[in-house]
Amino acid sequence: MVDPIVWLVLLPLGWATLAFVRGPGRGAWTAIAGLVLQVWLAFQLAREIGDGVTVSHAVGGWGAPLGIDLAVDGLSAAMLLLAQCVALPLAIYAKNYFKADDPAGTWFWPLAGFLVAGLNALFVSADLFNIYVTLELVGLAAVALVAAGGGAPQVAAALRYLFATLCGSGAYLLGVALIYGTYGTVSIATLLPLVTMEAPRLVWVAGILMVAGLMLKTALFPFHFWLPPAHGGAPAPVSALLSALVVKASFYLILRLWLGPLHALLPTFAWGMALLGAAAIFWGSWQAISAVKLGA
């Protein structure tokens, strides 16, 4: 029997590796065929998810705490389906967008495959440390796609993006280490009943670090400084991948933390996010008004 959870991770790795072996600029049709299969797998998986149902898979037959568990609920199934449905038309567009002599398209297909594989693995990860690993895979693939053009603006934007994503991942990993030191586990299901409003201060510090790191990777105000250069300097298909999938994956993780192990801390964090959202509206409005006045 085909397990959609496993194949949604393995299939993009397979066509990305095949595209890399075939050489620069090749692999478009392989990627499109693979993404068609991934859309079908995501639909099949979404059909298995009912109200309150979670589908899980123990990697290698060894589940937590000794092994690695993969799990899909309604939220992650929706994100998986969204990712495949966005990536497929993007791949079709990219095939016609990149010309034979375009340096930005030289390694687009293997990098895009590794990016999609990292995203799918992120959506099905069931523990905090595996989420960190997949975050790094997604971040490094995204940075490489931004820098693929080889021009000075692209490389500068990619370096700024790399610095931001590494800082965000480092803050998240430090939070994971503090939670593991407190509870001795990183399993989301195990942590769910353990974290309460009476949690130790280290857990609150861990929550702040993890959410702040993910906010930086999502480019939420005031951590948005890296986003305009990265999107402006990247080719259109890469910019679409960043906007539609990569930054949304980090925001998905904020929701996953709030609905999962950090649910007891949600009221405090929700007020902080609300204040930052209001500040972003005022800041963006002021910048827009100032720009009109300067151009007059």
In tens digits, what is the pLDDT along the chain, a chain of 296 residues? 568 888 899 999 999 999 888 888 788 889 999 999 999 999 988 888 865 677 777 777 666 666 778 888 888 888 999 999 999 999 999 888 887 777 777 788 899 999 999 999 999 988 888 999 999 999 899 888 888 777 777 788 888 888 888 888 899 999 999 998 888 888 888 888 887 777 788 888 888 888 888 888 887 777 777 777 777 777 888 888 888 888 888 888 888 888 777 776 666 667 777 787 788 788 878 777 877 554 44
Gap between the Cα atoms of 40 and 46, Å rounded: 10
Return the sign of the alpha-carbon dihedral for residues 64, 75, 211, 161: positive
Q: What are phi and psi of 186, to 5 degrees?
A: -120, 5
| Residues sharing a CB contact under 8 Å with residue 280, sequence separation 6 or more, in sequence order | 220, 221, 222
Q: Partners of 55 in the beta sheet?
A: 72
**pLDDT value at position 154?**
78
**pLDDT value at position 83?**
92
Q: Partners of 57 in the beta sheet?
A: 70
Geometric angle at alpha carbon 15, from 250 and 253, rounded to 5°: 10
Secondary-structure percent of the chain, ordered helix, strand, coil, rounded to 5: 75, 5, 20
Task: Give the containing element (helix H, strand E) for 70.
Answer: strand 69-72
Gap between the Cα atoms of 189 and 73, Å rounded: 12
| Residues sharing a CB contact under 8 Å with residue 264, sequence separation 6 or more, in sequence order | 195, 196, 197, 199
Gap between the Cα atoms of 234 and 241, Å rounded: 10
| Residues sharing a CB contact under 8 Å with residue 224, sequence separation 6 or more, in sequence order | none
Gap between the Cα atoms of 291 and 220, Å rounded: 21
The two three-digit tokens of residue 16, written as one number: 């990305």
Task: Give the containing element (helix H, strand E) for 59.
Answer: none
The two three-digit tokens of residue 125, written as one number: 């990860």
Gap between the Cα atoms of 260 and 122, Å rounded: 15
**pLDDT value at position 242?**
85
Q: Which amino acid is at 72?
A: V
